[in-house]
């Protein structure tokens, strides 16, 4: 009996594998394109044009909720040097709100699958904020998909990399 228990424990000691219950679907990680910076922090990536005249700081918003049937696939993009924010979605949303920390949520303008928002006050909030929240409500969804992402200086770091690449720093 002890030998069977030891064999069972030994079989479960594969440290390279994690147990994931069937009812849980994880956040999908983005595949960074070859021309993108390998540098990333807290899910933020930098992708620069080949001429290095513009870069984008990107956050993957692809997510499947734990007990939900809805799938949100999007990328939040901050353009350098233009300091513009856009959210590119695979499906057209009914509404999108973006919020940093306890600041009031800001509504994004979504005429199609591309949502935009003025850079201020969002840029200032993101530079000093800790938590970014997105509320995305799509057609047929009874409630918004709320997703939370870390800023923790990661956005600032990736923005500084982008500015350096375009020659602003």
- What's the pLDDT tens digit per position in 13-58? 333 333 333 333 333 344 444 454 545 677 888 888 888 888 889 8
> Distance (Å, rounded) from C-alpha 68 to C-alpha 61?
16
| Cβ contact 114:85 at 8 Å | no
Q: Where are the domains of the chain?
A: 28-165
CATH of domain 28-165: 2.60.40
Supply the pLDDT for residue 120. Answer: 94
Does pTM top 0.85 for this prediction? no
């Amino acid at each position: 009996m002890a030998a069977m228990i030891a064999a069972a424990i030994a079989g479960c000691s594969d440290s390279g594998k994690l147990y994931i219950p069937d009812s849980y679907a994880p956040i999908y990680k983005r595949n960074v394109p070859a021309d993108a910076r390998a540098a990333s922090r807290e899910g933020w990536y930098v992708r620069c044009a080949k001429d290095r005249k513009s870069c984008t700081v990107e956050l993957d918003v692809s997510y499947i909720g734990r007990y939900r049937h809805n799938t949100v696939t999007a990328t939040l993009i901050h353009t350098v040097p233009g300091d513009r924010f856009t959210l590119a979605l695979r499906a057209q949303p009914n509404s999108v709100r973006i919020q940093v920390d306890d600041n009031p949520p800001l509504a994004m303008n979504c005429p199609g699958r591309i949502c935009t928002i003025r850079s201020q006050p969002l840029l200032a909030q993101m530079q000093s904020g800790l938590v970014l929240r997105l509320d995305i409500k799509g057609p047929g969804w009874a409630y918004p998909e709320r997703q939370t992402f870390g800023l923790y200086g990661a956005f600032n770091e990736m923005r500084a990399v982008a500015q350096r690449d375009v020659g602003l720093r």
